Amino acid sequence: MTTVGTYRGTEATEIATFWSIPQEDGIMYGEGEGVITTKEG
């Protein structure tokens, strides 16, 4: 997943991966990792 937006007033891009599974009680459980980058580094 990739998103573009602002982070603390600075234009940023986030790149992330995640997974999720539904549990018997109807709640989704998931985990993921990601990184946020800016034009300034």
What pLDDT, on a 0 to 100 scale, did the predictor assign at position 40?
81
User: How many C-beta neighbours within 10 Å does residue 14 have?
Assistant: 14
Identify the domain containing residue 11 by its residue range.
2-38
What pLDDT, on a 0 to 100 scale, did the predictor assign at position 3?
93
Q: How many domains does the chain have?
A: 1
What pLDDT, on a 0 to 100 scale, did the predictor assign at position 18?
95
What pLDDT, on a 0 to 100 scale, did the predictor assign at position 41?
75
**Of 35, 41, 39, nearest in space to 17 by CA:** 35
What pLDDT, on a 0 to 100 scale, did the predictor assign at position 39?
85
What pLDDT, on a 0 to 100 scale, did the predictor assign at position 7?
85
Q: Which tens digits make up the pLDDT trace of 1-41?
A: 999 999 888 999 999 999 999 999 999 999 999 999 998 87
